[in-house]
Amino acid sequence: MKEIRILLGALLLLVLAGVSTLISQEKTPPQPLHNHAYDQNTLEKVEGLVVDARDYNCPVSGTVGSHITVKGEGRDIEVHLAPASFMQRYEIAIRKNDKVTVFGSRITFEGKPALIARSVVIGRDTFNFRDNNGRPLW
């Protein structure tokens, strides 16, 4: 009987030690899946025609994101818009052949220039994806 109490006591100490270790560990935010940060210092404007619009699992946002490819100034540039769920929730549809003006932060994605969109203008409509400080609106 004494051996069972010692065994249960040792087991209880192990459990308490494990719980206290978990509690005492400092909470650190999850590391991003990418190193593509929105940077106010790299803002630019791109005007052109949408030549592709699609959703895919994006390493920039870490979610299934909506993207467009804009042909402007003789080159194509990929634009990272927002998570597809955000686009659906607000019924934002940017389609092939739309004439757009994109304001966003320049990044390099898969070795090519790209933008993380702050806003997209189509005709009289403006779709905002980030606030003026670059924080996502989703």
- Domains of the chain, start order: 40-128 (2.40.50.140)
Q: What 8-state DSSP symbol labels residue 91?
A: T
State phi, psi for 131 to the nearest 5 degrees: -80, 180
Distance (Å, whole) CA 29 – CA 88: 28
| Minimum mean pLDDT range among 32-46, 60-74, 87-101 | 32-46
What DSSP element (H or E) covers 96? none
Q: CA torsion 79→80→84→86, rounded to 10°?
A: -110
CB of 97 closer than 8 Å to CB of 104: no
Banded pLDDT at 37 (limits 50, 70, 90): confident
CB of 60 closer than 8 Å to CB of 78: no
pTM, two decimals, is 0.73
